[in-house]
Structure 1
């Protein structure tokens, strides 16, 4: 006769329970991030471009934080370098009969700004909804999270904190998409354990606090 432990039983029950995705979402990670070029970039659909951007951000952090480069000087030097590269390319193309790239293909597309405009409006709308206090749990969770970020930010420079956010933004979405089922399962088990701890705390501590009799207010 086989005897299963409680953890094994819970694991077997978790496989039978329908999987719930992170934050109760129903869409995929790609569609949640907008489903456009930015989503492809964050989920490393084009690995060379995503790696180049991540490497560029790392180089900028290295120049500012480690080398202590001045921002204005860096912008001017980068502009000078780009202008020299473009000048040499166009000058060599005149003698070698090269096909010059179309300048309109280099410009940033309007869809990027539309995506950013929609996301900013969504963030402002969510901030207003949470601040209205309709959901007290969400309200206090956001306040607690912002307070924790402010405490962490006091121990790091703004540049290091911004660089850390960029690194998380460039790595966490693709890692979550790759290990989505495992992460959702761990979060589901963690939420169950947290609910059990809260129930025990409520029954053993909060319910034992003596409360005085509630007196009805007399109507005048």
Structure 2
């Protein structure tokens, strides 16, 4: 009797799951608070300033080939000259001295970012260990394939380019997914179901046909 596989139309009748099987909204997954505001572009000024700043740094280091120490020295010299001229003009015209900020970001922002990064890192490590144990064979082979592709792509990028690419992904992918969440979940669900079908066929046609040695029974006393 020929094996009949269910069609995609039949699979669409099953309840649609979120990407990666998550149960919480994307904002909660990102930790909420100011970090989520920046990644989801809800605080547009900070997100835009961060993107422009990182892009300028990337251009200076990769395109202009600036050295880190040289760049830091030039920025410090320029900042000192601007402050000196500013205060000198204020003294000359008897203006009030400009108020300079004593800090760029408050302590709570750094603590929140560090806490979010720590939590996400632990979750990623736990998920990696679950995949490595082979609990989900389809996901196991998909992860190996993805890491192999990533290693090949890494040969064509410098470390700084790779960091900048990761930053661009962090600034764009969560925002786009949050905007087109239903469409992404729909097509991702189809791809995952097809991948599971392909693995089931591979398992039944190849893996199950590999001869295995006899299982040794444990001696009982």
Q: TM-score range by the shorter chain?
A: 0.7 to 0.9
Whole-angstrom CA distance in 1 between matches of 2:41 and 2:156: 31
Does the 8 A contact of 2:35 with 2:113 survive in 1? no
* Runs of 5+ unmatched residues, structure 2: 1-6
Write out aligned runs for 1:32-181 (5 A). 32-94=29-91, 95=93, 97=95, 100-101=98-99, 103-104=101-102, 106-123=103-120, 125-126=122-123, 129=126, 136-137=133-134, 144=144, 148-181=149-182
* Runs of 5+ unmatched residues, structure 1: 1-5
TM-score by length of 1: 0.77
TM-score by length of 2: 0.77
- Could you say which residue in structure 1 is the equivalent of 2:3? none
- Could you say which residue in structure 2 is the equivalent of 1:3? none
Deviation at 1:100, TM superposition (A): 3.2
Going from structure 1 to structure 2, the CA distance change for 1:66 and 1:205 (only over 3 Å counts) comes to same
Decide which structure has greater helix share: 1
Query: Can you list the C-alpha shifts for 1:149-174, whole angstroms capped at 9, x where unaligned?
Result: 44432332111111111111111111
Q: For the aligned residues, what is the CA RMSD? A: 3.2
User: How many residues of Structure 1 are paired with residues of Structure 2 in the alignment?
Assistant: 210
Whole-angstrom CA distance in 1 between matches of 2:124 and 2:28: 21
Does the 8 A contact of 1:41 with 1:50 survive in 2? yes
- Could you say which residue in structure 2 is the equivalent of 1:20? 17
